[in-house]
Every structure is written in structure tokens, then in C-alpha cells.
Amino acid sequence: MDVMTAVLTRRSEHLLVEPAPSDQEFTYLLRAAATAPDHGRLRPWRWILVRGEGRAALGRCFAEDCPAPDHRRDQAQAAPRRAPLLATLVFAPVADQRIPEWEQLAAASAMTSSLTLLLHARGFGSIWRTGRFTESAGARRLLGLQPDERLLGWLYIGTPAQLQPRRRRIPDDVTDRVTVLTDQLVGAS
């Protein structure tokens, strides 16, 4: 699949089943995704792969941190079982660098975007999930986060349950989002 096709046909997949990429295949794709723009090549991120019973443990953390009624706790506890692999993105900014933290966060975002396209090109589906559980003290403990690290979210990964060809999106007209600095504007300043 060429890059333009990957960009125009990738969708967030809500129904994901086995198989998911193996740890080795995930790492292979991550090596390519890690070539995304990253000023200073700091790689201010790390991934924690959660499968099998790890998903149940994570679900228990979600339920413990859910102040809602019991049915909401049940939903929170079941959430990590919606995909065979939850790739947990941890932002680990590198301190004492000339590269500001916001730029390091942008590098983690760019890498993750590349990863979703690579997964799609390999036939896997994914959906990016965030929300209040990124602040879960139980999830932080379970996943072994350091005090200076932030849990950004989870890439739920698997095979789309409904295998059907994806239509290409028609790109929006974004010309109103582009300004050209012309010679006349430069001369006027």
C-alpha cells in the first residue's frame, strides 16, 4: 500500500479481534515509526505492550478509579478487552535539553501517527484512546510509570472485525488554513 492510500483509507477501528501484531512485529514497525521528526533524536517516549491477563489487570485499575455507578465501573473494567493488544504510550520527556517539552511531545505524536499508518498498511486496525484513565493512579502503578512520565493513552490494536475495503476519503479543502508570505508582505514590514 502506498503512503497516500494508507493516509486516505486509514480509519479508527472500534471492533478489533485477533490477531494483533506480535511483540517482534510491533517492534519492527516501531523502528520505522521512530524515524518521524524528533529534534535531537531524544525519543521522549516508550511503549508498554499489554495483552492477555494484563488487560484484565488494567481493567481493574480503570474500575477502581471510576467514581460512576456500578454499570459504569463494569464498562470501565471491560474496556481494555476491546482489543487483543493495548500499546500504552508513555511520554518520558528528556530534562535539561535545549529541546522544549512541547517539541518532545510533538515528536511522540508524530511517531504515533506514523505507527498507525504502518499498522494499517500491514492490515491491522487501531484506535487511539485517551480520557480520564490516563490519570489513573492504579494504572500508573501497574505500568511502572516514573513520577516525571505521563501516560498519554492507548493504541488499541488488532485485526478489524469487519474486513471490508475502505473507501478513500476525499481530502477537505484546507486552502483557508494556508498563508503564503509574499514579497509584498515582507517589504511592508
**Which tens digits make up the pLDDT trace of 48-107?**
999 999 999 999 999 998 876 777 889 999 999 999 999 999 999 999 889 999 999 999
pTM of this structure: 0.92
Nearest partner of 99 among 111, 108, 90, judged by Cα: 108
Tens of pLDDT along 102-137? 999 999 999 999 999 999 999 999 999 999 999 999
> Does the pLDDT value for residue 187 go beyond 80?
no
User: How far apart are the C-alpha atoms of 151 and 146, rounded to whole Å?
Assistant: 10
**Residue 43 is placed in which grid cell?**
525519543
Tens of pLDDT along 22-31? 999 999 999 9
> Does the pLDDT value for residue 188 go beyond 80?
no
| 3-188 homologous superfamily | NADH Oxidase (3.40.109.10)
Whether the Cβ atoms of residue 6 and residue 120 lie closer than 8 Å to each other: yes
User: How far apart are the C-alpha atoms of 117 and 104, rounded to whole Å?
Assistant: 20
